Amino acid sequence: MLDELRQMAIFAKTVEQGSFRGAAQALRISPSVVSHHIAQLEDRLGTTLLYRSTRKISLTEDGARLLKQAQIMVRAAEAGLDDLSDRGSVLSGVIRIAMPAVLSQSVVVDRIVAFAKDHTKIRLEFHFSDALQDIIGGGYDLAIRMGNMRDSALKMRKLNEFQRVVVASADYAATLPEITHPDGLGGLDWVELRDLPLKPRFRKHGRPAVTIKPNAAHIVNDALALGQMVRAGAGLAVLPDCLVGEDIRQGSLARLLPDWQLDPIGVYVLWPQNAAKSGLGARLVDHLAQFAPGQPKRARAASGR
């Protein structure tokens, strides 16, 4: 089939140019190659498409019928190529993104949406799940992930860090004795996120780091549901401050051991190794990377994003 498509394109160009030599010059191949492909196409179809003389060519009836279809094919191919090449100046298309549900209310989403607002022909498709998504198998352009990244065949860039805090509902916290050291948290009721076992490490200036391994009273597979269970009084949990900060300020949640710090959790963007360097995904990565720690913040008007 590919050979026939090539032959039809050469046939259409030959008719357009009016000679084998003209088609050869336009296609940057030799006249003998043009003649060879048209002869093969005629053999394949069992008919004559062109009458030839030393100075000119003319279409047969079958040649005229095939020419219409060949021209439609060539125009469709040219339109497809033009559409892709136009993306350099006007970004358009779909970007499919997999993200943890816990980040659905984070600044990361705000920044992705800001990119789409700057490029109004882009459509975003988000898949929010705290289960690890297969980027290649799922057909995603990008994935946002949290935690310690393992070696991967994917490209990766760190975007940010979120501070984490230990929280409980205000009512639950009021039932607890005074706790001044992480060891005092181990025997309490904890709610754990599935696939992210509890093993928080606490730090305080001038004190050695302390790691505890509490037993989970409840397990849930969604970070937003985890937060809701804590608000309902199910126990303690470790959550990003971006998810519970407002609850703490309003007093519905209490932060335990506020003078101890948990290790922050990294936020990364990952994408396939063979993704186009100038594609939509790469442009979005560049947009997100300008907000990464240590990166200079470029003016929006200057960057065009």
> Which CATH number goes with the domain that contains 57?
1.10.10.10
Looking at the chain, list the stretches that DSSP marks H as alpha helix, in order from N- to C-terminal side. 2-17, 20-27, 31-45, 61-85, 107-118, 135-138, 170-174, 223-231, 241-250, 280-289, 300-303
Instruction: Look at residue 97 in the predicted model and tell me its pLDDT.
Output: 95
**Residue 144 sits in the same domain as residue 205:** no
Residue numbers of the domain that contains 45: 2-87
pLDDT value of residue 76: 85
Instruction: Give percent helix, percent strand, percent coil of the chain, each to the nearest 5.
Output: 45, 25, 30
Collapsed DSSP state (helix, strand, coil) of residue 246: helix
Picking from 262, 279, 295, the residue at the C-terminal end of a domain is 262
Q: How far apart are the first and last CA of the chain?
A: 43
Domain final residue pick, 29, 62, 87: 87
Return the DSSP state at 236: B
Q: What is the largest CA-CA distance in the chain?
A: 103
pLDDT of amino acid 302: 26
Q: pLDDT digits over 68-94, tens only?
A: 898 888 888 877 776 666 555 678 889
Residues 149 and 199 in one domain: no
Token output for 192: 């754990």
Half-sphere exposure of 110 (CA within 13 A, CB side): 5
- Residue 18 sits in the same domain as residue 78: yes
Say yes or no: 278 and 148 in one domain.
yes
- Residue 107: give its domain's CATH number: 3.40.190.10
Q: What is the pLDDT of residue 84?
A: 63
Global pTM exceeds 0.85: no
Answer yes or no: do 292 and 246 share one domain.
Answer: no
Assess whether 227 and 169 both reside in one domain.
Answer: yes
Sign of CA dihedral 163, 131, 187, 251: positive
- Extract the residue ranges of the chain whose pLDDT is less than 50: 295-305
Give the pLDDT score at 75.
84
Q: What is the pLDDT of residue 82?
A: 64
- Which of 87, 113, 128 delimits the end of a domain? 87
Based on the structure, what is the number of domains in the chain? Answer: 3
Mark whether 104 and 191 lie in a shared domain. Answer: no
User: pLDDT value at position 243?
Assistant: 83
Say if residue 233 is in the same domain as residue 282.
no
Provide the pLDDT for residue 57: 86
**What pLDDT is stored for residue 303 in this prediction?**
29
pLDDT of residue 275: 80
Question: Checking phi first, is residue 42 left (phi over 0); if not, alpha (psi -120 to 50) or beta?
Answer: alpha
